[in-house]
Amino acid sequence: MSENPTGGDAVMSSARLAQFQEEVERLKLKGGGANPERNGANLGIGLAIVGVIVVVISWLSAKGAGGVNAKLDSQVAAVIGLLVGIVGVALWLRNSLTSYLRYWLVRLIYEDREQTERLIQAIEKLADKR
């Protein structure tokens, strides 16, 4: 069955582990001042803050408005602010998770390569016994 008594997580060989660590370090390198993930996350935070400010201002203006038209205008502005805030949160979330998910993708690839090498070795052992 499995050579690893603890279950599924086998320790990668030292050469493969070193290769994995080099790849992770390479992915953390920043390409100069322009980092689209950091800029996107900052833009998302900014949009979320602007959205909250627009909603609060619209709510305060609707509260003090006398006519129906003024209240409807404030409600439309509040909905627009809410949508801007939602877009900002989605943009921040997308850009914040990118590097985290990239790390796990690289780890999965290296673990799958290690597992494939073990399977090939096992198949070769079986072929030699015949």
pTM to 2 decimal places? 0.61
Domain count within the chain: 1
Residue 26 lies in a domain: no
Residue 7 lies in a domain: no
To 10 degrees, the CA torsion angle through 29, 31, 33, 34?
-120
Taking CA 65 as the corner, what is the angle to CA 59 and CA 71, rounded to the nearest 5 degrees? 65
Query: How far does CA 122 lie from the centroid of its chain?
Result: 37
Residue 15 lies in a domain: no
Residue position matching structure tokens 């509040």: 78
Residue 47 lies in a domain: yes
Which residue range(s) make up the domain with 59?
Answer: 37-129
pLDDT digit of tens for each residue in the chain (130 aa)? Answer: 344 434 444 555 677 777 777 777 776 655 555 577 888 889 999 999 999 999 999 999 988 878 888 889 999 999 999 999 999 999 999 988 887 888 788 888 888 888 898 899 999 998 888 7
Q: In 10 A of CB 1, how many CB atoms?
A: 4
Residue 49 lies in a domain: yes
